[in-house]
A and B are shown apart, each in its own frame.
Chain A
């Protein structure tokens, strides 16, 4: 330690995360997404103004890890519940944290309606191409041919249809101010994901309308892979189908400099 002289802290737990070890599986990227949101809320000094809305999925217990007010919605209904909170408390920062089954399957109605209304909330959307909590069933984001416990011979597009590209779809709505997709598979992309989350909260803080950051994530447990293989699968299989990018950046949003 001589070389460093005095101890320098280079990494610590964001104040908006509680001092708990999470229930997420080893190698699951939910943890990274939590940390990014927490770092951003710390940096923006929003802890005391923020109300989170947990969804139903592996992140149902997100409220244990974020150290600010939280409410927990029925499966798929987080955007509606967030609307209720935000309309009553318009000066607070309200965000939902939703999985792909929650947001793009059972909750498709609520997310589309919230985006169409230009609801001034932020959505952190975890796309891990399956239903994690219930044991790896097919999700709307499951890739063609992908084996899951409810598509045992691989997702057959003839009967199960095609995956939904949520960011692209929501970007067509006039109410959506900021809709982007990022990925959590390597440090560079993780940094870009953090910037996007920061931008999304800025959008909300300035009252510019609906913002969503879709995050490509891994589910090593249900994909039946090691964490490293899962990262590789994300990169080689999911990224081509779900390109990262900015799908909607409203004119007023474009002015924001981070």
Chain B
């Protein structure tokens, strides 16, 4: 298929349709609303399910119900709406059902603003709902990747009976880029054995997340964790740029990763040997790749559009062996490539330290600047 110029939100929605989305439930919220609006037209055209729910709370529990039937189901929202969904997400995880969520992140906390941010990293990757659970989290950095990974999200969520989240920021939702949509795939004909679709000719199926006996609950916790270990072993994905001879490396995901790529190119043009590792699965986190990279370079720079969230996952993986610096722009700001370039130059020139937390050093620099 030929490339088309597509807006992120619309591209994700249409790709989901082509990957066999059977039911969508959502609620308006900027900067994600185009997904809901697009599907309000597209799904009924195809005779598939679309419901504008009364709230995100309603939407996520509609997803919960539809997921019990084994249908390919999805919802999408943005940060404040995602917070409301946390209850339902925990229940879906506790019931071990596949479901796909798209979070088009905006500035927070609270009502914040509608500008691009990555401030939901912790909430999403570390399971913002209650109980122990582990969503698979994919972070595309372009509209083509968003299209590809929404398909991957369905596949992985069904393979591991797990939540899968496509985590993007408002800029990816709103921007347009040439990208290629997949061919239209048929909606599935056969449903998994656990799908509750009526006990015709078989014993009944019950979907619940209640285990009153703590021992039974613990077994479920172990089962969920064991499955997560399989995900960790098999599904880590990341992309590397200019790392072969790199003396310094940036770690950044999504839009921050794209901007970092521009900074890396500019630094390379100035003779600085710097590269970029861009995690695509934020969960499972590419810990081994980060650890190996840390051994090879003089220092790491983590760039995020938040106060420093993924940086803690980086630190947890490298055990203080390599100096790490952090640069972030929270609150709905996209860093400019020049800002990151200045950080690279500072690191190349400056004295590096293993003491203290990179976030504290960063905040001090930001506060003295402003």
Chain B residues contacting A134 (CB-CB under 8 Å) are 28-30, 33
Decide: B40 and A159 in contact? CB cutoff 8 A: no
Interface size bucket, A side?
20 to 34
Which 8 residue pairs across A and B have the least CB separation, nearest first? Answer: A106-B55, A134-B28, A150-B40, A137-B28, A152-B41, A105-B54, A149-B37, A150-B52
Assess whether A84 is interfacial by the CB under 8 Å rule.
no
Q: How long is the Cα–Cα vector from A56 to B30 in the complex, in angstroms?
A: 12
Q: How long is the Cα–Cα vector from A138 to B26 in the complex, in angstroms?
A: 12
Chain B residues contacting A131 (CB-CB under 8 Å) are 28
Assess whether A140 is interfacial by the CB under 8 Å rule.
yes
Determine chain B's interface SS by DSSP, over half rule.
mixed
Assess whether B131 is interfacial by the CB under 8 Å rule.
no
Chain B residues contacting A74 (CB-CB under 8 Å) are 80, 110-111
Chain B residues contacting A159 (CB-CB under 8 Å) are 44, 50-51
- Chain A residue at minimum C-beta to C-beta distance from B33: A134
Q: How far is the CB of B272 from chain A (nearest CB, A)?
A: 44
Decide: B80 and A75 in contact? CB cutoff 8 A: yes
Assess whether B27 is interfacial by the CB under 8 Å rule.
yes
Q: How far is the CB of A133 from chain B (nearest CB, A)?
A: 8
- Chain A residue at minimum C-beta to C-beta distance from B41: A152
Q: How long is the Cα–Cα vector from A135 to B29 in the complex, in angstroms?
A: 10
Known interface pairs A74-B80, A137-B52; A56-B111 also in contact (CB < 8 Å): yes
Q: How long is the Cα–Cα vector from A131 to B40 in the complex, in angstroms?
A: 15
26 sampled A-B residue pairs with Cβ under 8 A = A56-B111, A60-B111, A74-B80, A74-B110, A76-B55, A105-B27, A105-B54, A106-B54, A106-B56, A108-B54, A134-B30, A137-B28, A137-B36, A137-B52, A140-B54, A149-B33, A150-B28, A150-B52, A151-B40, A151-B52, A152-B40, A152-B41, A153-B41, A159-B44, A159-B51, A160-B52
Assess whether A72 is interfacial by the CB under 8 Å rule.
yes
Decide: B111 and A137 in contact? CB cutoff 8 A: no
Apart from A74-B80, A135-B33, A149-B37, what 9 extra A-B contacts exist at CB < 8 Å? A72-B111, A75-B80, A105-B27, A106-B27, A106-B56, A135-B28, A150-B36, A150-B37, A150-B52
Q: How long is the Cα–Cα vector from A149 to B57 in the complex, in angstroms?
A: 21
Q: How long is the Cα–Cα vector from A138 to B111 in the complex, in angstroms?
A: 21
Q: How far is the CB of B108 from chain A (nearest CB, A)?
A: 12
Q: How far is the CB of B338 from chain A (nearest CB, A)?
A: 32
